[in-house]
A and B are shown apart, each in its own frame.
Chain A
Amino acid sequence: MSKFNFPFISETKELSNLRKEVRKFISEALINKEFEPAADGWVFSANPNFSKKLGSKGWLGMSFPKKYGGNEKTTLERYIVTEELLASGAPVAAHWIADRQSGSQILRYGTEEQKQSIIPKITSGECFFAIGMSEPDSGSDLASVKTKATKTDDGWILEGRKIWSTGAHLSNYMIVLARTSPASEKNRHEGLSQFLVDLSLPNIGIKGIPDMSGQRHFNETLFDKVKLPKDALLGREGKGWEQVVGELALERSGPERFLSHFCLLENFINQFRHVLVKSGSQLIGRLIAELQTLRRMSFSVASMLQNGESPETQAAFVKELGNRFEKMMIESLREFSNIIPLYEWPKQLQNLFEDATLRIPSNSLRGGTTEIMRGIIARQLGLR
């Protein structure tokens, strides 16, 4: 049952000091009006200048080796930085995917040349990534992707479509999962490969898809016989599935799975503390218990990643619980409006609440649906 264990990891003095440092940096940025706190900032608020500033502080790709511009910090240190950024609703969307998963993926599977040419730009906050997994006909069933890469004398030809790629229109690269040989009858996970695709290449069309709130963050990307150089292949040909599974553990276990709307909760409490003291302490106590447990679980996964373990299942636990917590939290605030009607909430709080309400359906879809998470857990339990 070790897959269900989340050993307690305490925050050391050094980590607490780092936390203070990041907090100071953020409060200065707020005073200088560099950003307006926003819900789901890691998806919706891209601010390349802010990303660059974080890069110059050494807070992007901070666990990467120094020879590629990294800081050789631990994943626990990275965890602290990301928590502080998320809790404050900072505009971190531009670099988020590069920092969270693409950089690690390149370091793990890339060639020396790929590392040297890309990683330093990730750590300086000048190179952004999008995820190229889903397709119009392949959502949860990722292994069914049809995007195809065909080997040529001097590289590859990439053909197909990727969809729901957040920030592709602002990104320099996309890591594309494509078929390089047909699936074998026994194992359809075979024959997939990952490609590092430079989005400035010819014959790539990126088209925005407005979400239900009318905002653009995700995209459909068309690869119309795109010529890729030989070294666009990331890792080993045919081993794309195994590589993608590891990437998903990075994607699913982080604090964005439960802190995406934290700035709404904080703002709400600051506004109505005097009312909550009388009639909301039980609700707030419940939220604290859930949130603190999630923080510990996610921090514990960060420590497993640091130790080189593969916590795919634990990541699914965190994502599933985190998604559920956020939905419950927003629902609880809505119910509170029978005490103070919504129209009497300050404008900024109303906006945060309405944004959250519009965005929350996506939290249990992106990065793997609830059903996929439960399927992963069921497999671990020996039910599948």
Chain B
Amino acid sequence: MNEEIQIILETTEKVLQKNINHQLRQNIDQKNDDLINVWNEVEEIGLPKIVVKEKFDGFNLEFASVLPIIQLSNSLGAPIPLSETILCNYILSECDINPPEGMITFANVAKNIKISGNELSGELISVPYLNLTDKIMFITKIDGVEKVVFLQNSNLDIEQKKNFLAEPRFNVNLKNNNIIEIKTLNPKINFNYLGAILRSAQMIGSMEKILNLSIDYCSQRKQFGRPLSKFQAIQHQISEMAVELSASSAALSTIASSEDLSKNIYDIAILKIRTGIAAGKIIAISHQVHGAIGFTKEYELAYFTKNLNSWRNDFGNESYWEEFLGKDFLENSNKNLWEYLTY
């Protein structure tokens, strides 16, 4: 890891550690001034534009190289759309749109999008953090051409989804809304691939935190006269969490050292599959070893496990990418498996 990233990591850790506590996560689906204050601190150190081109006042870093920063901010559980903003601003910058100041979020799914003149209609599904921002980026196909759309409107017709997920999510009904900018998508950008990487890095950060919470809790909590961590049954379950986490981190390190992400579809699929599998196991084990306290809103475990449940389904779940990878090998390559693996 280069020195520049190392310095950003240290600063990020300092700022987030100072500002984040579990109390902040209690009302994250509201318009929350405390969260906006956290955001302002984060913006002050320049994080939202680390992958933005210099001409738009960004740091011009590679998207792959900032994955450790996304991982870290999620291991600290910052309930602000930092990861989303980093990705949106990267895509906007690559498509020659000047990224806005402040928070911006993306729509995972855009349906029935129609554009006439400067007016937009259709539906945006499962958009995170519209309680904190009114800026949205999404990708849509217009007359067979992929376009990136940037939208800002404080009077959007939005419907809040049930708070099944840790970060708040909204559906948006677009009716003749004004577009701020629309441009043809830079062909090197694939939103679904980048989203899969982003969510995987976020999950890995969260899983690090979950593992640490489990270790700490089981070392402190005593039953039958000794700490839970002294029971072999507990030790083995927590070891399994570490094994799952290490496999996901290994898959992420492949992507993080990649020079051209658009050529790494195969490794992106592996990352999302491996991380999704790990998330499923880690959710189950961490709740099991925590007992009832982990099932409460007051204790912080569930904030992280709910996020995992949400993110493992974004941008293709395990089945989606397994199908993708299996087909890529079985149908699109004329290699045998060993040749395919060792390409």
Cβ-defined contact, A277 with B235, below 8 A: no
Cβ-defined contact, A288 with B329, below 8 A: yes
A42 to B218, CA, bound (A): 41
A380 to B241, CA, bound (A): 13
Cβ-defined contact, A282 with B249, below 8 A: no
Complex interface bits, B229-244 against A, C-beta within 8 A gives 1, otherwise 0: 1101011101110110
Nearest 8 Cβ contacts at the A-B interface: A281-B326, A285-B326, A285-B322, A285-B325, A378-B235, A377-B239, A6-B250, A374-B239
Q: Which residues of A56-93 have CB atoms within 8 Å of chain B's CB atoms?
A: 83, 87
Cβ-defined contact, B246 with A6, below 8 A: yes
Complex interface bits, A283-325 against B, C-beta within 8 A gives 1, otherwise 0: 1111011111111110010000000000000100100110000
Known: A283-B326, A291-B341, A374-B235. A8 touches B254 (CB 8 A): yes
Residue on A nearest B270 in the bound complex, by CB = A289
Least CB distance, A213 to chain B, in whole angstroms: 26
Complex interface bits, A355-384 against B, C-beta within 8 A gives 1, otherwise 0: 000000000000000010111011011111
Query: CB < 8 Å: which of B242, B246, B270 contacts A288?
Result: B270
B253 contacts which chain A residues (CB < 8 A)? 5-8
**Which segment of B78-86, B135-143, B160-168, B330-338 sits at the interface?**
B330-338
A374 to B237, CA, bound (A): 8
Query: CB < 8 Å: which of A265, A276, A290 contacts B274?
Result: A290
A211 touches B (CB below 8 Å)? no
B130 touches A (CB below 8 Å)? no
A96 touches B (CB below 8 Å)? no
A383 contacts which chain B residues (CB < 8 A)? 215, 218-219, 229-230, 234-235, 238
A321 to B248, CA, bound (A): 12
A282 contacts which chain B residues (CB < 8 A)? 319, 322-323, 326
Query: CB < 8 Å: which of A284, A321, A377, A378 contacts B326?
Result: A284
Cβ-defined contact, B270 with A292, below 8 A: yes
Cβ-defined contact, A19 with B338, below 8 A: no
Residue on B nearest A20 in the bound complex, by CB = B342
Complex interface bits, A254-272 against B, C-beta within 8 A gives 1, otherwise 0: 0000000010011001100
A294 to B251, CA, bound (A): 9
Cβ-defined contact, A276 with B330, below 8 A: yes
B247 touches A (CB below 8 Å)? yes
Cβ-defined contact, A262 with B338, below 8 A: yes
Cβ-defined contact, A280 with B243, below 8 A: no
Known: A378-B238, A382-B219. A293 touches B251 (CB 8 A): yes
Complex interface bits, B288-331 against A, C-beta within 8 A gives 1, otherwise 0: 00000000000000000000000000000011011111110111
Cβ-defined contact, A289 with B341, below 8 A: no
A293 to B249, CA, bound (A): 10
Known: A285-B324, A289-B270. A381 touches B239 (CB 8 A): yes
B257 contacts which chain A residues (CB < 8 A)? 7-8, 10
Residue on A nearest B253 in the bound complex, by CB = A8
Would you call the interface of chain B mostly helix, strand, loop, or mixed?
helix
A1 touches B (CB below 8 Å)? yes
Least CB distance, A292 to chain B, in whole angstroms: 5
Q: How large is the interface on A (under 10, 10 to 19, 20 to 34, 35 or more residues)?
A: 35 or more
Residue on B nearest A384 in the bound complex, by CB = B235
A293 to B246, CA, bound (A): 10
B28 touches A (CB below 8 Å)? no
Q: Which residues of B contact A (CB under 8 A)?
A: 208, 211, 215, 218-219, 229-230, 232, 234-236, 238-240, 242-243, 245-247, 249-251, 253-254, 256-257, 269-270, 273-274, 318-319, 321-327, 329-331, 336-338, 340-342
A182 to B97, CA, bound (A): 75
Cβ-defined contact, B238 with A266, below 8 A: no
Q: How many A-B residue pairs have CB under 8 A?
A: 147
A381 to B215, CA, bound (A): 8
A377 to B239, CA, bound (A): 6
Known: A296-B251, A378-B236; 7 extra A-B contacts, CB below 8 A, are A6-B246, A293-B247, A297-B246, A320-B243, A373-B239, A381-B242, A383-B229
Residue on A nearest B328 in the bound complex, by CB = A285
A320 contacts which chain B residues (CB < 8 A)? 239, 243
Least CB distance, A163 to chain B, in whole angstroms: 25
Residue on A nearest B255 in the bound complex, by CB = A8
What are 9 A-B pairs with beta-carbon distances under 8 A? A6-B250, A277-B331, A280-B330, A283-B322, A285-B323, A293-B247, A374-B235, A375-B235, A380-B242
Least CB distance, B205 to chain A, in whole angstroms: 12
A373 contacts which chain B residues (CB < 8 A)? 239
A1 contacts which chain B residues (CB < 8 A)? 208
A25 touches B (CB below 8 Å)? no
Known: A7-B253, A291-B341, A378-B236. A266 touches B322 (CB 8 A): no
Residue on A nearest B234 in the bound complex, by CB = A383
Residue on B nearest A278 in the bound complex, by CB = B330
A273 contacts which chain B residues (CB < 8 A)? 330
Q: Which of A283, A288, A289, A378 has the most CB of B within 10 A?
A: A289
Query: CB < 8 Å: which of B254, B269, B322 contacts A296?
Result: B254
Cβ-defined contact, A281 with B327, below 8 A: yes
A314 contacts which chain B residues (CB < 8 A)? 246
Cβ-defined contact, A277 with B330, below 8 A: yes
A295 to B206, CA, bound (A): 25
A283 to B319, CA, bound (A): 9
B340 contacts which chain A residues (CB < 8 A)? 288
A10 contacts which chain B residues (CB < 8 A)? 257
B321 contacts which chain A residues (CB < 8 A)? 285, 289
Query: CB < 8 Å: which of B243, B249, B273, B336 contacts A286?
Result: B273
Known: A289-B270, A293-B270. A382 touches B215 (CB 8 A): yes
Cβ-defined contact, B336 with A321, below 8 A: no
B319 contacts which chain A residues (CB < 8 A)? 282
Least CB distance, A197 to chain B, in whole angstroms: 35
Cβ-defined contact, B273 with A269, below 8 A: no
A291 to B342, CA, bound (A): 11
Residue on B nearest A262 in the bound complex, by CB = B338
Residue on B nearest A294 in the bound complex, by CB = B247
Cβ-defined contact, A266 with B326, below 8 A: no
Least CB distance, B127 to chain A, in whole angstroms: 29
B238 contacts which chain A residues (CB < 8 A)? 378, 381, 383
Complex interface bits, A5-16 against B, C-beta within 8 A gives 1, otherwise 0: 111101100000
